[in-house]
Amino acid sequence: MIMKQHIQSLVTIAHHWLDKKNDLRLQAIHEGASQFCLSKANFELALDWIFSQWTDTTIAGFYAKNPYKHIQYAAQILAGNTPAIIAQGFLQGAILQVPQCIKLPSQQSCFAELLYQSFLIHANELAHLFEINTWQHDLSVFYSKLKKADLVIAYGHDETMTELKQAVSPNAVYLAHGHAESIAIIFKDAMNDLSLKNLAYDMLSYDQRGCLSPRLTYIEEGGAWSPEEFARKFAEDVLPTIAEQLPRGGLFLGESEEILHQRIVHGFRGRVFNGHDWTVCYTERHVVTTALPRFMIMSPFANGSALKDYLNPVRSSLVSIGVAGVLQDSELLTFIPEKTRVCALGEMQKQLLFL
Amino acid sequence: MSLMQRIQQYMETGLGDFNELALAVFSYQYHHCDSYREYCNQLHKSPDQIDTWQQIPAVSTDVFKEFDLCTLPLSTATYVFQTSGTTQESKGKHYYHDMTLYDTAIKNSFMSGIGLSNQDKPVFRVLTPSFVDVPTSSLFYMFQNVIEWYGQAQSQFYFHQNELNCDALLEDLLDDVAHYRPVVLLGTAFSFVNLCDYLKANAVTIQLPMGSRLLETGGLKGRARTVTRGELYDLFNHYLGLDLSFCFSEYGMTELSSQCYSRPNTHVFQSPHWMQTRVIDPQSGSEVAIGDQGLVQFFDLANYTAVSSVVTSDLAIRQDNGFELIGRAHKAVLRGCSTLFEK
């Protein structure tokens, strides 16, 4: 009964956040978007995607499969690269149904505080389980709470994950979400306009600031278009229009300088297409990606075996693969780690990672 | 007269038209450096599509780490200068087949850069390794030649086997003081920090003889600590008795063949007339207004056999007829769960 009430409360919260006239939503868009360096249009799209997934069926499923029913006290450390991680933290906190401290990213706390307000309004009994703060100036207090937790969920840099591990009780379950990467694969049977459009949305939403955004796109040879032609169509015919609908947000310190340098370096490696707020590099070299916003690297591949070789160095950190076409190569299928989510292109951001 | 001779004449006399020479250099580099030509073609900027040196495509210093930018066969290069860096990092390389323009740049800027003339014969005390010890360093090449061309016989290097020999340096400096012999100290910013640390530890301060001076170069960020330019110059004043008017700063890099020097009593760098400087907005690529901040970009005529237009990662404030360095552009910070995907 309580669980049903909670599910209903969470669905109500989502419903309010999907309401374009909702004051908290409007305030979050007005004040919170820039904290994530996202444009208002992109932040709005993010809110729509996030909360459209808070359905009773999905949430009930999470409650049913919650493997941490035995815990007494939890701690969550949320990263600030996208609003999705913040929302996810609150949702999983609700499903855990235990008292917990939630450490917010100090520079991106606005959306979290507004979301907490909607918990106070629509799910007061859940809101009272949460202690939210940045503990920016009082880390020792936070660490003492961390020590008490028997479940710790953390997002951030690998270095932060290692550092936190020292502070977590040895008996606690520690779920560290550090380094992660996502890629897109375009198979030759999917060389079409829909793939171009889906890839553009997956790239531009969240300005590639989250780990679910593809940074590298591998394009199979032998299709209706050559991989280079696919890259050209993507950059010249599709991306500019969608980029106009979803303009880039701000840039963090050093990003504009790095974009300039990377465009030049990639111009030597292959071909660069760019608008004022996006870059597409096509190269036949196997290269490293960058952490830059709206910076896509595209490369061709001959077959599943070749692609496997390209992906091998990052296999362990692959969190998501967006696929256009049919992934049926048995070698590739066995190569992709079980924990990696394989989804359709265009759906890469539309996922709720639970615990 | 060959293009190289025309450049040399321009460097020595200032007679000629910079833009005309720059366009000729670009045309030469475009036709003889394949990777650069392909890059320029991609930007639709070939010699016949360009009218001014500012339009010439610039390469990033990062490109030197991955591509051999040279108009001549690499196998016949006589010197290969390399950027510094850890063994894991790839190093930028600059190939030279003829040192004429490089030497011309030094001869026409170094001594005036430290307020002396080419006729002066000072004693140089150098806090870096010699070029003999590190034959891949463009800086040590310059110091070695400066000593040979302009230095008194007792000039020498004090950095051997990965260590600055402060004992020997102090002994010689005290001898210079005793004999009222003006000296010129040359070194990287951090080699001077090491020297000042040593003097502090030994409770020694020196008042170098009148006419002495100092030239520092390189970054202010060391492996273990960072100093500000103000702090550095305070150390020079306190431990060596040299005030700002006798302390000079050099700005150079492996990727370039010419150097900039700070104007007297300021931290504003000025490039020689054969190397034009722009401080650019990284987003638009256009020059920023005086007082605004951007990335430093050069067009160095002496980079004749490489690529002359080079954009650096150094941030500076554009000043009237110069630039003031404010540090390195931050590398884009990897945020949240998204980190660098490295091979």
Q: Are residues A229 and A256 in the same domain?
A: yes
**Mean pLDDT of the residues in chain B:** 93
DSSP B184: E
Asked if the C-beta of A6 comes within 8 angstroms of chain B's C-beta atoms, the answer is: no
For residue B327, what pLDDT band results from cuts at 50, 70 and 90? Answer: confident
**What are the two backbone dihedrals, phi and then psi, of residue A125, each rounded to the nearest 5 degrees?**
-65, -30
Asked if the C-beta of B7 comes within 8 angstroms of chain A's C-beta atoms, the answer is: no
pLDDT at B80 over 90: yes
Residue at which a domain ends, from A120, A142, A177: A177
Q: Do B340 and A290 touch (CB under 8 A)?
A: yes
B254, B82 Cβ separation under 8 angstroms: yes
Q: Do B338 and A257 touch (CB under 8 A)?
A: no
- CATH code for the domain in which residue A318 is found: 3.40.309.10
For residue A30, what pLDDT band results from cuts at 50, 70 and 90? Answer: very high
Q: What local confidence, expressed as pLDDT, does residue B328 receive?
A: 83
Q: Do A258 and B342 touch (CB under 8 A)?
A: no
Asked if the C-beta of A317 comes within 8 angstroms of chain B's C-beta atoms, the answer is: yes
Residues B175-230: tens digit of each pLDDT:
999 999 999 999 999 999 999 999 999 999 999 999 999 999 987 766 667 888 88
Asked if the C-beta of A232 comes within 8 angstroms of chain B's C-beta atoms, the answer is: no
Q: Are residues A47 and A76 in the same domain?
A: yes
* Residue (of A198, A125, A176, A156) closest to A344 by Cα position: A198
Q: Are residues A232 and A111 in the same domain?
A: no
pLDDT at B337 over 60: no
A49, A205 Cβ separation under 8 angstroms: yes
**Both structure tokens of B284:** 């638009």
Chain centre to alpha carbon of residue B185: 17
pLDDT at A140 over 70: yes
B332 closest CB neighbour out of A156, A177, A255: A255
Q: Do B283 and A260 touch (CB under 8 A)?
A: yes
Q: Do B333 and A252 touch (CB under 8 A)?
A: yes
Q: Are residues A173 and A188 in the same domain?
A: no
Number of domains chain A contains: 2
* Residue (of A3, A156, A5, A170) closest to A86 by Cα position: A156
Domain borders along chain B are 3-98+268-328, 102-251
Mean pLDDT of A104-127: 96
Residue at which a domain ends, from A177, A192, A221: A177
* Residue (of B5, B40, B41) closest to B307 by Cα position: B40
Q: What local confidence, expressed as pLDDT, does residue A355 receive?
A: 62
Q: Are residues A161 and A301 in the same domain?
A: no
pLDDT cut 70: percent of chain B above it: 94
Q: Are residues A36 and A166 in the same domain?
A: yes
* Structural fold of domain B102-251: Rossmann fold (3.40.50)
pLDDT cut 70: percent of chain A above it: 99
Q: Are residues A125 and A168 in the same domain?
A: yes
pLDDT at A182 over 90: yes
Q: Cα–Cα distance between A84 and A95 in angstroms, integer?
A: 16
Domain assignment present for residue A350? The answer is no
From the CA of A266, how many Å to the nearest CA of chain B?
A: 9
Q: Which CATH superfamily is domain B3-98+268-328 in?
A: ANL, N-terminal domain (3.40.50.12780)
Q: Are residues A148 and A196 in the same domain?
A: no
Rounded CA Rg of chain A: 21
Residues B30-69: tens digit of each pLDDT:
999 999 999 999 999 999 999 999 999 999 999 999 999 9
More confident residue, B335 or A299: A299
Q: Are residues A40 and A147 in the same domain?
A: yes
From the CA of A98, how many Å to the nearest CA of chain B?
A: 25
Which of residues 12 through 51 in chain B touch A, CB cutoff 8 A?
A: 35, 38-39, 42-43
Which of residues 172 through 231 in chain A touch B, CB cutoff 8 A?
A: 177-181, 208-211, 213, 215-216
pLDDT at A353 over 80: no
How would DSSP label each residue in A89-123? HHHHHHHHTS-EEEEPPTTS-HHHHHHHHHHHHH-
Nearest CA in chain B to A270: B39
Residues of chain A with C-beta less than 8 angstroms from the C-beta of B58: 264
**Mean pLDDT of the residues in chain A:** 94
Whole-prediction pTM: 0.91
Residues A226-266: tens digit of each pLDDT:
999 999 999 999 999 999 999 999 998 899 999 999 999 99
Q: Are residues A167 and A225 in the same domain?
A: no
For residue B330, what pLDDT band results from cuts at 50, 70 and 90? Answer: low
For residue B308, what pLDDT band results from cuts at 50, 70 and 90? Answer: very high
Q: Do B332 and A177 touch (CB under 8 A)?
A: no
Chain centre to alpha carbon of residue B284: 26
Q: Which of B341, B342, B343 to mutate to test the interface with A (most CBs of A within 10 A)?
A: B341
Amino acid letter, B214: L
Q: Cα–Cα distance between B141 and A22 in angstroms, integer?
A: 68
Nearest CA in chain A to B312: A261
Provide ipTM, 2 decimals.
0.92
Q: What local confidence, expressed as pLDDT, does residue B200 receive?
A: 97
Q: Are residues A159 and A10 in the same domain?
A: yes
Which of residues 86 through 145 in chain A touch B, CB cutoff 8 A?
A: none
Domain encompassing residue A224: 181-344
B102-251 matches B3-98+268-328 in CATH topology? yes
Q: Do A80 and B283 touch (CB under 8 A)?
A: no
Residues of chain B with C-beta less than 8 angstroms from the C-beta of A178: 337, 339
Domain assignment present for residue A216? The answer is yes
For residue B336, what pLDDT band results from cuts at 50, 70 and 90? Answer: very low
pLDDT at B85 over 80: no
Half-sphere exposure of B311 (CA within 13 A, CB side): 26
Q: How does strand B260-262 pair with strand B268-270? A: antiparallel
**Both structure tokens of A28:** 């979050």
Q: Are residues A172 and A191 in the same domain?
A: no
What residues pair up with A185 in beta bridges, in sequence order? A218, A323
Asked if the C-beta of A67 comes within 8 angstroms of chain B's C-beta atoms, the answer is: no
Q: Which of A261, A295, A299 to mutate to test the interface with B (most CBs of B within 10 A)?
A: A261
Q: Cα–Cα distance between B84 and B78 in angstroms, integer?
A: 19
pLDDT at B334 over 50: no
Q: Do B336 and A265 touch (CB under 8 A)?
A: no
Q: Is A281 helix (H, G, I), strand (E, B) or coil?
A: strand
pLDDT at B313 over 80: yes
Q: What local confidence, expressed as pLDDT, does residue B339 receive?
A: 27
* Residue (of B304, B167, B324) closest to B249 by Cα position: B324
Q: Do A291 and B339 touch (CB under 8 A)?
A: yes
How far is the first Cα of chain A from the last one, in angstroms, to the nearest whole number?
23
For residue A222, what pLDDT band results from cuts at 50, 70 and 90? Answer: very high
Residue at which a domain ends, from A145, A177, A209: A177
Residues of chain B with C-beta less than 8 angstroms from the C-beta of A254: 329-333
